[in-house]
Amino acid sequence: MGVNGSRSNPKDRRKQTGSTGEREAEQFLRSLGYQVTERNWRCRTGEIDLIAWHEGVRVFVEVRTRTGSCGSPMTSGQAYGTALESVDGRKQQKLRSTASVYLQATGGWDQPIRFDVIGITMDSNGSVLELKHVINAF
């Protein structure tokens, strides 16, 4: 049993943490003048967390959220690396493939594009400890 007698499993907590991180990332991007046009766009090859326009460029954004302390690499969420480190070559290729399907579906082949990554570290209460935005990450 979780808090107040409710049932909570790790998968539900991860999903909730991810959704909270995506909302934080979207607010952050909007504060920088990005126009977010899609959230959690899905197709047969995968999902893109956020798709936005910024200064004439279509931006595909991967958001990775971890819980723990941003100063200690071995705390709960970072025992397997930081949020940014989790976007490995395999994940990058999956994002490229998914973006390709998106561009084909929307007729956006003639648009300049880039891939950004936002890594967020949150405390156990859901407050953001750290947010890192890597522009043109790969």
Q: Contact, 75 vs 69, CB < 8 A?
A: yes
Q: Contact, 77 vs 126, CB < 8 A?
A: no
Alpha helix (H) ranges present in 38-117? 89-106
pLDDT tens digit sequence for 44-90? 999 999 999 999 999 999 999 998 765 544 344 445 678 898 899 99
pLDDT tens digit sequence for 58-70? 999 999 999 876 5
Segments forming the whole domain that contains residue 99 = 3-134
Q: Contact, 36 vs 132, CB < 8 A?
A: no
CATH number at residue 11: 3.40.1350.10
Q: How confident is the model at residue 21 (pLDDT cuts 50, 70, 90)?
A: very high
| Number of domains the chain is built from | 1
Euclidean distance between CA atoms 49 and 100, whole angstroms: 15
